[in-house]
Amino acid sequence: MSTNIGSRTAPGARPVRPAAGSAGRVSALVLAAGSGSRFTGSFIPKQFVSLMGKPILAYVLETYQNLDLVDDITLVVNARYEQLYYDIVDTYRFFKVRRMVRGGATRQASSAAGLEAIGPCEIVVVQDGVRPFTGPRVIMEAVETARRVGSANVTVRALDTIVESKDGLIARIPDRANLYSGQSPQAFRYELLAEAHRQATAEGITDATDDAQLVLRAGGQVGVVEGSYANFKITTYQDFLFATSLVERERPNDGEGW
């Protein structure tokens, strides 16, 4: 495993399949460098919090580890908790995790750092490190959509009315029929995403909340993949409690089993 925190090899790491090469390689970029400022009740970031005996991040890595479509994983980390990431990779034998990269000050900076570490490949799949119920179906469909149109974003229809406000007043209520909530993963042709990041840097854009925004700004197309309401991101402690109740019954996903 290469890392800009310090070059070390993950215990039990195996070589990435050489047959894939840069031309056909599918690389997962897992963004897990957050500090969890909105998650109360824990002294460690939420990606390390145990969800029914297993760290939230381990659920995410397990899905990509078990998916043959994915050749390798790059993990973007919070350097303050470096050893905790290595402990997870070692304990659960996530040998596809080939790189650990220090995250930046923003999500955009973290994504750019991970992308640079991956290097040229065919498809990059960008995944939140605290979205434990992402299933294999949406990953595979996102990759195939990215191969076809350049990029893909997993989404679900908005359930609530979306209100745009300004200065304490409602400015606009858009038609909910055309509104979706974006999830992860997002998938991209490598060169398309790399160029989108280069253009954003040149234009002084630093605060994009996801990579699809950058691709759209750069003139690329982003296809839509139908997601699942079970594929939610654990942001607050209430989300964690809900996730716990789901795992107690049976881990939800998109119908592909555990």
Q: How many CB atoms lie within 10 A of CB 41?
A: 10
Residue pLDDT, tens place only, 186-238: 999 999 999 999 999 999 999 999 999 999 999 999 999 999 999 999 988 89
- CA distances from residue 68 to 17, 120, 139, 152, 232 in whole angstroms, order as listed: 11, 19, 11, 19, 23
Q: How much is the pTM?
A: 0.87
The proportion of the chain whose per-residue pLDDT surpasses 70, expressed as a percent, equals 86
Least confident of 31-40, 175-184, 239-248: 31-40
- CA–CA separation, 165 and 167 (whole Å): 7
CA angle 94, 99, 102 (to 5 degrees): 120
Residue pLDDT, tens place only, 153-169: 999 999 999 999 999 99
Tell me what the mean pLDDT of segment 114-119 comes to: 95
**What is the predicted pLDDT for the residue at 176?**
87
**What is the predicted pLDDT for the residue at 122?**
97
Query: Beta strands 123-128 and 54-55: pairing type?
Result: unpaired
Domains (range + CATH), the chain: 2-13+20-249 (3.90.550.10)
Backbone angles phi, psi at 245, to 5 degrees: -65, -35
On average, the pLDDT of the chain sits at: 88
Does the pLDDT value for residue 107 go beyond 90?
yes
- CA–CA separation, 245 and 144 (whole Å): 33
- CA distances from residue 54 to 60, 62, 246 in whole angstroms, order as listed: 11, 11, 14
The proportion of the chain whose per-residue pLDDT surpasses 90, expressed as a percent, equals 76
In the chain, DSSP assigns E strands to 2-3, 26-32, 50-51, 54-55, 72-77, 97-102, 123-128, 151-157, 164-166, 169-172, 180-189, 223-226
Does the pLDDT value for residue 143 go beyond 50?
yes
**Residues contacting 116, CB < 8 A, separation 6+:** none
